[in-house]
Amino acid sequence: MSIGLKNKHIISMRDLDRSDLDLLVETAGAIEEGRIKPDMAGRIAALLFFEPSTRTSFSFDSAMKRMGGETLLMKGTGSTSVQKGESFSDTLRTIERYCDIIVMRHAVEGAARFASEVVGLPVVNAGDGANQHPTQALLDLYSIKKTHGTLEKLKIGLVGDLRFGRTVHSLAQALAPYNPEFYFISPGFLEMPEHIKAELTAGGVKYTELKEVDSVVPELDIMYVTRVQRERFADPEDYERLKGSYIITLDTIKDAKEGMRILHPLPRVDEIAEEVDASPHAYYFEQAENGVYMRQAILSILTGAVK
Ligand code: NCD
């Protein structure tokens, strides 16, 4: 069943069709429930994080180790020969000889695609600049499937920095096959990029753009909140002007449907008040845990350990 994904790369959501998404979500569920126990003994994943990470790097690391596999974890280039002037492609062509799969995060958009063209192993994009973060979108799909029992016909609000936030680009594309109704809620300057909107329109997906969240809260099944991506701003003054332009409090969600769940890829800065954490609507730490099951599914399917 998973033959189609063996030895494939996951660089962009466009690399996956609906049957791939369904398979990954089902496999993550089977792994969490113990119905599938992938055996990765003897296999090594290189986790190359050229940009900071907590959840993505550690959940891939945890996923590999829970399956009996091992990891080579690089966080920053400080202790590597990149500091001596080694090129990106020479670094990759060396590391591929030490592992079975490469997971990579890089500040440059397209870096993971480039890596997939240089090496002969599956490459997984763990975030490339402001472009894509497909494995986050996959764990988000799995989280939504768990909270709502379906991915079909949900009303999803994406809130915050929709321009530089790579997670929302991937998530909008990931949900598109499931007949969603989107609300894109952001201050001016941080709107969803035109190319994503054009793709949704071409696929017949409905979206509404808004500047404030309050009026739409009672409609939502999922409120997906993101931080303003400070590191992507060319002008720090723009960041200063826009940071803190929306903060979700208990008051914001007082008219939410009972089943509405708040997701956030984390890290949070101040866009969700801590008082919301104890609310039954808050799901972001469970979401972070779901990352381990989804990344177990990704690693085991791409390496062929789960067939
Ligand atoms: C996100 C990322 O790196 O894009 N974090 C994550 O992987 N969970 C979101 C963010 O940094 O805001």
241: domain range?
134-288
Q: What is the pLDDT of residue 80?
A: 85
Torsion angle of the four alpha carbons 201, 203, 206, 208, in this order, in degrees rounded to the nearest 10: -40
Tell me if 114 is assigned to some domain.
Answer: yes
| 245 pLDDT tier (thresholds 50, 70, 90) | confident
Indicate whether 160 and 141 sit together in one domain. yes
More confident residue, 307 or 127: 127
What burial class does residue 14 get, using C-beta atoms within 10 Å of its C-beta: 0-12 exposed, 13-18 middle, 19+ buried? Answer: exposed
The per-residue pLDDT for range 203-221, each reduced to its tens digit, is 999 999 999 999 999 999 9
Indicate whether 168 and 241 sit together in one domain. yes
Distance from C-alpha of 174 to C-alpha of 21, rounded to nearest angstrom? 8
Per the annotation, the verdict on 155 as an active-site residue is: no
The per-residue pLDDT for range 39-55, each reduced to its tens digit, is 999 999 999 999 999 99
In the chain, alpha helices (H):
18-32, 55-66, 88-95, 111-118, 134-148, 166-175, 194-202, 236-242, 284-302
Indicate whether 10 and 123 sit together in one domain. yes
Indicate whether 86 and 207 sit together in one domain. no
Residue 266 Cα, ligand 1 centroid: separation in angstroms? 6
Contact 148, 154 (CB under 8 A): yes
Indicate whether 116 and 141 sit together in one domain. no
Indicate whether 21 and 147 sit together in one domain. no
Tell me if 58 is assigned to some domain.
Answer: yes
Indicate whether 21 and 125 sit together in one domain. yes
Spell out the SS3 assignment of 3-46. HHHCCCCECCHHHCCHHHHHHHHHHHHHHHCCCCCCCCCCCEEE
Indicate whether 120 and 139 sit together in one domain. no
Q: Decide: 292 in ligand 1 pocket, CB within 6 A.
A: no
Q: What is the pLDDT of residue 1?
A: 40
Distance from C-alpha of 198 to C-alpha of 44, rounded to nearest angstrom? 39
Distance from C-alpha of 207 to C-alpha of 180, rounded to nearest angstrom? 9
Contact 190, 242 (CB under 8 A): yes
Distance from C-alpha of 191 to C-alpha of 202, rounded to nearest angstrom? 19
Per the annotation, the verdict on 106 as an active-site residue is: no
Which amino acid would we find at residue 57? S
pLDDT at 2 over 70: no
- Out of 9, 43, 91, 105, the active site residue is 105
Q: What is the pLDDT of residue 84?
A: 87
| 3 pLDDT tier (thresholds 50, 70, 90) | low
- Out of 55, 106, 163, 261, the active site residue is 55
The per-residue pLDDT for range 76-130, each reduced to its tens digit, is 988 888 888 899 999 999 999 999 999 999 999 999 999 999 999 999 999 999 9
Q: Decide: 69 in ligand 1 pocket, CB within 6 A.
A: no
- Averaged pLDDT for residues 135-158: 98
Q: What is the pLDDT of residue 244?
A: 87
Q: What angle do CA 165, 88, 123 make, to 5 degrees?
A: 60
Indicate whether 139 and 212 sit together in one domain. yes
Distance from C-alpha of 244 to C-alpha of 240, rounded to nearest angstrom? 9
Tell me if 307 is assigned to some domain.
Answer: no
Q: Based on the structure, what is the number of domains in the chain?
A: 2
The per-residue pLDDT for range 175-213, each reduced to its tens digit, is 999 999 999 999 999 999 999 999 999 999 999 999 999
SS3 116: helix
Residue 260 Cα, ligand 1 centroid: separation in angstroms? 22
The CA distances from residue 11 to 131, 169, 187, 214, 245, in Å, are: 10, 13, 28, 35, 31
Report field, pTM of the whole predicted structure over 0.95: yes
Percent above pLDDT 90 for the chain: 95
232 is in an annotated binding site: no
From the CA of 161, give the closest atom in ligand 1. 12
163 is in an annotated binding site: no
What CATH number should be reported for the domain holding residue 46?
3.40.50.1370
- Averaged pLDDT for residues 50-75: 97
Residues 6+ apart with CB under 8 A from 283: 143, 147, 261, 262, 263
The per-residue pLDDT for range 248-292, each reduced to its tens digit, is 999 999 999 999 999 999 999 999 999 999 999 999 999 999 999
Q: Decide: 55 in ligand 1 pocket, CB within 6 A.
A: yes
Distance from C-alpha of 131 to C-alpha of 169, rounded to nearest angstrom? 7
Give the residue among 299, 295, 30, 289 at the shortest CA–CA distance from 143.
Answer: 289
- DSSP string for residues in 191-237: PPPHHHHHHHHHTT-EEEEES-SGGGGGG-SEEEE----GGG-SSHH
